[in-house]
Copies of this chain bind each other. A is one copy, B any other.
């Protein structure tokens, strides 16, 4: 995906974190950090993106991610257009591009795409005019780059240097774009040890998640970890892997406060939301002192501000 960068090395599209270098990621995180505000401070209200139009094209529903992008854009002074446009190729490849060409002819600057179908963001990015940027807000099971960045930002805020950290990502790794983008970000940023922790049915093939340690039990997987990233389990997938019910899943792979004691004493607990309380995570943990789940949400807006600013900077 070298085509995410302009010839001068600046970021034009953000479709995947894979292949972006450490300097670029760190610059995005540094910039995002300047946009972070605590809950009792006022959020940023700037005009850096005045005259820029950002279109949200969400083919999959996601109120929270859409809201986060919308707030990020507006707090930098951009206009936001929410469009109910499906870019699925079920209605032929040309239709996707006709829609995109039509939108760019109206002078949209950034297309924020969320699609269940893999390949759509890259297809669109390969065809848009030079003044248009594509930012993925989640692509199939493959990539959720702004989530990966907000996860990295949250870890950096809490833990500082990543080189000494053990990070455990726990759950349905195989089907998780959140896990993939976290892995890309954390590996590039030089994280000491990244573990993927999943029952066999949810463990990705050996070619995937190269360099990660693998654990098939949560107890082994989180032992001594500094960061535990719990993933949301899709309930329809539990049946597919013959987990009879939510209670069984929780007993085998849920993060309880008892289990949490296996991790480092100052370990932080993350979750991309929305949580299934009592299934992959116990309420006591989700709301406990080690949880940084709401800080992730706040960081999401800051990261998306930095990304929107970066991709539109040259105009």
Contact = CB atoms under 8 A, between A and B. Distances in A.
Interface of A: 37, 39-40, 42-43, 45, 50-51, 53, 55, 63-64, 67-68, 70-71, 74-75, 79, 81, 83-85, 92, 94-95, 98-99, 101-107, 129-131, 273-275, 277, 283, 294-295, 297-298, 300-301, 315
A94 B277 contact: yes
B297 A39 contact: no
A60 to B, nearest CB: 14
A219 B22 CA distance: 61
Given A79-B74, A81-B67, A294 B102 contact: yes
B63 A83 contact: yes
A298 B295 CA distance: 41
A149 to B, nearest CB: 16
A237 B255 CA distance: 48
A40 B130 contact: yes
A67 B103 contact: yes
Contact of A102 (B55, B81, B131, B273): B273
B298 A105 contact: yes
A70 B64 contact: no
A106 B273 contact: no
Contact of A70 (B81, B92, B107): B81
A189 B40 CA distance: 35
A226 to B, nearest CB: 23
B71 A315 contact: no
Nearest to A104: B39
B51 A107 contact: no
Given A64-B102, A67-B81, A79-B74, A39 B274 contact: no
Contacts of A40: 129-131
B98 A273 contact: yes
B51 A63 contact: no
Nearest to A72: B106
Interface centre among A74, A104, A106 (most CB of B within 10 A): A106
B297 A102 contact: yes
26 contacts: A37-B107, A39-B104, A39-B107, A39-B131, A40-B129, A40-B131, A42-B51, A43-B51, A45-B51, A53-B71, A63-B84, A67-B81, A68-B106, A71-B79, A71-B106, A71-B107, A98-B274, A98-B275, A101-B294, A102-B274, A102-B294, A105-B295, A105-B297, A106-B300, A107-B298, A107-B301
B98 A83 contact: no
A131 B40 CA distance: 6
A296 to B, nearest CB: 8
A71 B55 CA distance: 11
Contacts of A55: 67
A157 B103 CA distance: 21
Contacts of A315: 42
A299 B147 CA distance: 37
A93 to B, nearest CB: 10
